[in-house]
Amino acid sequence: MGATDARRPPVMADVAKEAGVSHQTVSRVLNDHPNVRGETRARVLAAIGKLGYRRNLVARALVTKHSRTLGVVSFDTTLYGPASTVYGIEQAARSAGYFVSIVSLKSIDRRGVLDALDYLADQGVDGIVVVAPQRSAATALTDLPGGIPTVAVEGGQAGGVPVVCVDQVEGGRLATEHLLSLGHETVWHVRGPSDWLEAEGRVAGWRAALAAAGRDGPEPLAGDWSPRSGYEAGRSLANMKDVTAVFVANDQMALGVLRAFTERGVRVPDQVSVVGFDDIPESEFFSPPLTTIRQDFDAVGRQSIEVLLRQIGGSGERERLVVSPSFVARASTAGR
């Protein structure tokens, strides 16, 4: 007891004195160095327990130049997709022994991303995951401050950095092919904002599937991912006579589309079939339950950490991991 007079937390030297060894030996025990006698190790451990010693990671970081902290830059973590991805990232990072420092941007322009990167670099993170679903964000990654390993999630062909993403084109294709296979003449599309790579990918998949079937693609309707924008697109679609199938770029907008159809008396799936994208927990309980494309955000998060850790470990290769989306059949689609 009373080893240290003042009420300050014990430091390594206190433990050393308590155990009757040098502070370096304490350090060796803490770092699992092989050359410590079992009995000595036990004595040190006992002293640590007795004093309630906790190693000061800041001091450690200063000398090792590794903070064991990873940075995450994301856009609006209120949305289900980013939230799930960040969640997966955080879980994976923590189980690998890393802290996670998060910067949530409200607008994800070039400037914002670079500022966030700088900010995290200042803090001394060992690596950074940028959830960069927008083109402007992805291009910001071409000229990084340098030195800090970085991986992009959903970053398309982001310059020089490794990427982990879901195959959006494939997803768009799956949705569209499903609708065509039900006998629909053509498929309309409510797309996401034009700056988003995910939106682009889904449009490309939709176009590709239509082209492969020899069909004309109508002009896509623009949305901004929000239920409201889907609602507005849905009102427009409800006014057109020849619409029988719609592929909506995310589930939230699909909800808006369904709402607009309900208001106008358009029955889904009897008159119009609707497919969404994401498979948020709610979509199974929409009216009708929504057929959609599932993205495994959790896997994306986990894989991005795996790639980042390899990058920190020194693997120089510029990996590109693509996670496949899957089709989820529910009640919002039917044949002609």
Partner DNA sequence: GGCAAGACTGTGAGCGCTAACACTAGGGAG
Partner DNA sequence: CTCCCTAGTGTTAGCGCTCACAGTCTTGCC
- 30's contact among DNA, a second copy, none, with CB below 5 to 8 A by partner kind, is DNA
Indicate whether 194 belongs to the interface with DNA (CB under 7 A). Answer: no
> 102 or 204: whose CB is closer to a second copy?
102
> 148 or 204: whose CB is closer to DNA?
148
* Size of the residue set binding a second copy (CB under 8 A): 53
The region that residue 76 occupies, defined by phi over 0 for left and psi between -120 and 50 for alpha, beta otherwise, is left
> 67 or 252: whose CB is closer to DNA?
67
Which of 184, 189, 259, 294 lies at the binding interface for a second copy (CB under 8 A)?
259
Per-residue DSSP letters for 198-231? HHHHHHHHHHHHHHHTT-PPPPPEE--SSHHHHH
* Size of the residue set binding DNA (CB under 7 A): 29
Task: Name the phi and psi angles at 276, rounded to 5.
Answer: -105, -160
Q: Which stretch binds DNA (CB under 7 A): 35-43, 132-140, 219-227, 314-322?
A: 35-43
Closest by CA to 100, choosing from 119, 82, 126, is 126
Which two tokens mark 110?
Answer: 């070039």
The region that residue 223 occupies, defined by phi over 0 for left and psi between -120 and 50 for alpha, beta otherwise, is beta
Which of 30, 36, 45, 61 lies at the binding interface for a second copy (CB under 8 A)?
61
Q: Which stretch binds a second copy (CB under 8 A): 28-36, 117-125, 304-312, 317-325?
A: 117-125
- Beta partners for 277? none
Indicate whether 258 belongs to the interface with a second copy (CB under 8 A). Answer: yes
Q: Which stretch binds DNA (CB under 7 A): 62-70, 103-111, 188-196, 279-287?
A: 62-70
Does a cis peptide bond (omega within 30 degrees of 0) precede residue 325? Answer: no
Residues near 165 by beta carbon (within 8 Å), at least 6 away in sequence: 153, 154, 155, 156, 300, 321, 322, 323
Collapsing DSSP to helix, strand or coil, 7 comes out as coil
Which of 3, 13, 62, 212 lies at the binding interface for a second copy (CB under 8 A)?
62
Helices H / strands E in the chain, number of each: 12, 12
Which of 5, 32, 37, 241 lies at the binding interface for DNA (CB under 7 A)?
37
Q: Which stretch binds a second copy (CB under 8 A): 22-30, 174-182, 196-204, 276-284?
A: 276-284
- 11's contact among a second copy, DNA, none, with CB below 5 to 8 A by partner kind, is DNA
Indicate whether 25 belongs to the interface with DNA (CB under 7 A). Answer: yes
Distance spanning both ends of the chain, measured CA to CA: 82
For the chain, the maximum distance between any two Cα atoms, rounded to a whole number of angstroms, is 88
Indicate whether 75 belongs to the interface with a second copy (CB under 8 A). Answer: no
Indicate whether 114 belongs to the interface with DNA (CB under 7 A). Answer: no
Which of 13, 22, 31, 94 lies at the binding interface for a second copy (CB under 8 A)?
94
Per-residue DSSP letters for 24-39? HHHHHHHTT-S-S-HH
Per-residue DSSP letters for 45-62? HHHHHHHT----HHHHHH
Chain contacts with a second copy (rule: CB under 8 A): 9, 54-59, 61-62, 67, 69, 76-78, 80, 83-84, 86-87, 90-91, 94, 99-104, 106, 119, 121-124, 147, 226-228, 230-231, 252, 255-256, 258-259, 262, 281-282, 284-287, 289
Chain contacts with DNA (rule: CB under 7 A): 8-9, 11-13, 20-25, 27-28, 30-31, 33-37, 39-40, 55-56, 59-60, 62-64
